C-alpha cells in the first residue's frame, strides 16, 4: 500500500498550546493570593480590581521552559515594590532600603508565584532564577494570561506570557 505524505503529522507536531488553553485568570489570581498571604502578611489581600495605571514600573519575573515556554511577570510601581519589600522583611526591614533589597524580595515573590504557575501547567518544566528590571515584552498577544490586581490601593499586574512568536497561520 502506498502511503501519501499529506503533511498532517508535521502540522500536528507544529501545534503548541497557548497559555490560555492551560491556565485561567482565576487560577493565577488564586496562586497570587496564596503567595501574598504567606509572604506579605496574613492581613494582606490582593483586590481583584485594576487600579490606576502604573507610571514608574518595575517588573520581576521567572522563565518557565517546558511544553509551554514563557515568563511569569509581576509589574508594579517602583514605590509599591519597595513597600512590598518592607512588608516581606517585616521587623528585619532596614531604615533605608537598598536597591538589592528590592531586587531580592520582589524577585522572590515572582519566584514563588512562578513556581506555582509552573506546577499548574501540564508536563515537566524548569524554572529560572528570578530577574528584576524591565519586563520582557510578550511575543504573541494570544499567548498571554494577565490579571490586574490592587494591593493597598496600588496596581499589581501578573502576566503569564509566552516567549515564542505566534506560529504562521495555517
Partner 1 sequence: MRALVIDDSRAMRRIVSGILEGLGYETQQAGHGREGLDVLEGGWVPDLVCVDWNMPVMDGLQFVSAARSNPAWRSMTIMMVTSESEHTQIVRALAAGAHEYVIKPFTADAIRDKLALLGLLPQEALL
Please report, as ranges, the residues that interact with partner 1 according to CB under 8 A. Answer: 34-35, 37-39, 85, 88-90, 92, 101, 104-105, 107-108, 111-112, 114-116, 118-119, 124-125, 127-129
What's the DSSP call for residue 163? S
Instruction: Give min distance, CB of 131 to partner 1, in A.
Output: 12
For residues 59 and 116, what is the distance between their CA atoms, to the nearest angstrom? 18
Under a CB-based contact definition with an 8 Å cutoff, are residues 115 and 107 in contact? no
Instruction: Give min distance, CB of 66 to partner 1, in A.
Output: 10
3-state secondary structure (DSSP) of residue 97: coil
Cα-only R_g, the chain:
18
Instruction: Give min distance, CB of 93 to partner 1, in A.
Output: 9
For residues 1 and 96, which CB has a smaller minimum distance to partner 1 in the complex? 96
Under a CB-based contact definition with an 8 Å cutoff, are residues 152 and 83 in contact? yes
Amino acid at each position: 500500500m502506498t502511503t501519501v505524505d499529506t503533511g498532517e503529522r508535521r502540522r500536528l507536531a507544529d501545534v503548541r498550546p497557548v497559555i490560555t488553553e492551560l491556565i485561567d485568570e482565576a487560577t493565577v489570581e488564586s496562586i497570587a493570593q496564596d503567595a501574598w498571604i504567606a509572604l506579605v502578611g496574613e492581613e494582606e489581600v490582593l483586590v481583584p480590581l485594576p487600579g490606576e495605571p502604573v507610571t514608574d514600573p518595575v517588573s520581576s519575573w521567572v522563565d518557565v521552559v517546558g511544553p509551554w515556554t514563557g515568563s511569569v511577570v509581576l509589574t508594579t510601581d517602583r514605590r509599591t515594590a519597595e513597600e512590598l519589600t518592607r512588608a516581606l522583611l517585616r521587623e528585619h526591614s532596614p531604615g533605608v532600603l537598598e536597591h538589592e533589597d528590592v531586587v531580592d524580595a520582589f524577585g522572590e515573590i515572582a519566584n514563588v508565584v512562578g513556581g506555582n504557575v509552573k506546577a499548574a501547567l501540564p508536563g515537566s518544566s524548569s524554572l529560572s532564577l528570578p530577574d528584576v528590571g524591565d519586563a520582557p515584552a510578550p511575543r504573541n498577544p494570544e499567548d498571554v494570561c494577565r490579571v490586574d490586581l490592587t494591593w493597598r490601593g496600588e496596581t499589581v499586574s501578573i502576566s503569564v506570557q509566552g516567549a515564542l512568536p505566534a506560529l504562521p497561520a495555517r
